[in-house]
A and B are shown apart, each in its own frame.
Chain A
């Protein structure tokens, strides 16, 4: 345990996510979005569960519209998994923790 969810923004997205080696799961969320608030604690747990293997980040899509637009985010929450800066998978909606973990595992084992 013991890894925080990283907060990123349009200004730092390139450095935080695209330029980062390995797997990074990015949560596009907004404060008004109830399903986003439902999965937020799940992502915090996953950050601990996968510490050292996968980084978990979140970006407020309202305050940072550029990144969502660039990655064609059409609904919230949307989770996009990047591997060495390239999108390799995505999942939308208030999905369960096991499904998110399963998505990560698929790419960790690839």
Chain B
């Protein structure tokens, strides 16, 4: 079925963004991948008050992969930035465009980005090349047989396990081994793992070491065993206790966590830029 973004009507996009704004004003945002609980929802679900893929298509004229992609790329953002990102994404889609082909195009861009981020070892590089080939064919209108996708997944998992040092990149390639036609979550999953892998690469440049990790784990266990287990009236959690008894370690841990959150946000901003680029290419498909 050929889709027509916003049914060619700017009011459809405008109304969806208004709905999102209203939900955010009443703090109705939840985390997840295109989820609506009847009252609150993820960013994508708040655009239509639903997590029904059919309804997403019917009301917005958009391919469902975009709902999962939007939620994956905004999950690390504070709400105002997430709303801005949703607005930028929707406004980038030309009115009347068929957005289905944008799924494989997005995956190709994300895979290409992976190769520029780090040189991949041979088994992963080979599987990535196969994934690119199969998505390129799909853009040309030739979806592979289910058995070919299954074979690609098997190769991806095997390659990830052979190269554990690059398992972040391996997870991205694994996520790319589904046809977005039958698996609308595919682009969102590639984004989720790509953000995680990029943030992990940024972490490699930080001064947090394995020794820090071990020390914190040991102290948190000690807080639990020394203060919480023997005293049923103790209401503080292990982190609050760590701040009291080991303030320097707790401050360093807090800084590490904040840095990690920032890495995830930076990685998500980068992936959002790639997604916008892929959607922009859809201008070629605009029906208008």
Contact = CB atoms under 8 A, between A and B. Distances in A.
A56 B178 CA distance: 19
Contacts, number: 63
Contact of B174 (A45, A96, A105): A96
Contacts of A105: 150, 154
Contacts of A42: 33, 185, 189
Contact of A96 (B34, B37, B150, B189): B189
Contacts of A99: 157, 174
Contacts of A31: 37
Given A37-B32, A37-B35, A101 B153 contact: yes
B31 interface: yes
B183 interface: yes
A37 B182 contact: no
Contacts of B30: 34, 37
Nearest to B35: A37
B35 A98 contact: no
Interface in B153-189: 153-154, 156-157, 171, 174-175, 177-178, 182-186, 189
A51 interface: no
A1 interface: yes
Contacts of B51: 41
Contacts of B153: 98, 101-102
Interface string A26-37: 000001001011
A49 B153 CA distance: 14
A34 B71 CA distance: 12
B33 A41 contact: yes
Question: Which of A31, A41, A101, A102 has most chain B Cβ within 10 Å?
Answer: A41
Interface in A36-90: 36-42, 45, 49
Nearest to B188: A41
A40 B32 contact: yes
Nearest to A39: B33
A41 B31 contact: no
B16 to A, nearest CB: 20
Interface in B13-53: 30-35, 37, 42, 51
B174 A41 contact: no
B156 A98 contact: yes
Contacts of B37: 31
Interface in B93-107: none
B35 A45 contact: no
Contact of A34 (B31, B178, B183, B193): B31
A92 to B, nearest CB: 16
B181 to A, nearest CB: 11
A40 B178 contact: no
A36 B183 CA distance: 18
A107 interface: no
Nearest to A98: B174
Contacts of A49: 182-183
Given A41-B51, A45-B183, 13 more contacts: A1-B182, A31-B37, A34-B31, A37-B31, A37-B32, A38-B31, A40-B32, A41-B33, A41-B68, A42-B33, A45-B185, A97-B178, A98-B174
Interface of A: 1, 31, 34, 36-42, 45, 49, 96-99, 101-102, 105
26 contacts: A1-B182, A31-B37, A34-B32, A37-B30, A37-B32, A37-B35, A37-B42, A38-B32, A39-B33, A40-B33, A40-B35, A41-B33, A41-B35, A41-B184, A41-B185, A45-B183, A45-B184, A96-B175, A96-B192, A97-B185, A97-B189, A98-B153, A98-B174, A98-B177, A99-B157, A102-B154
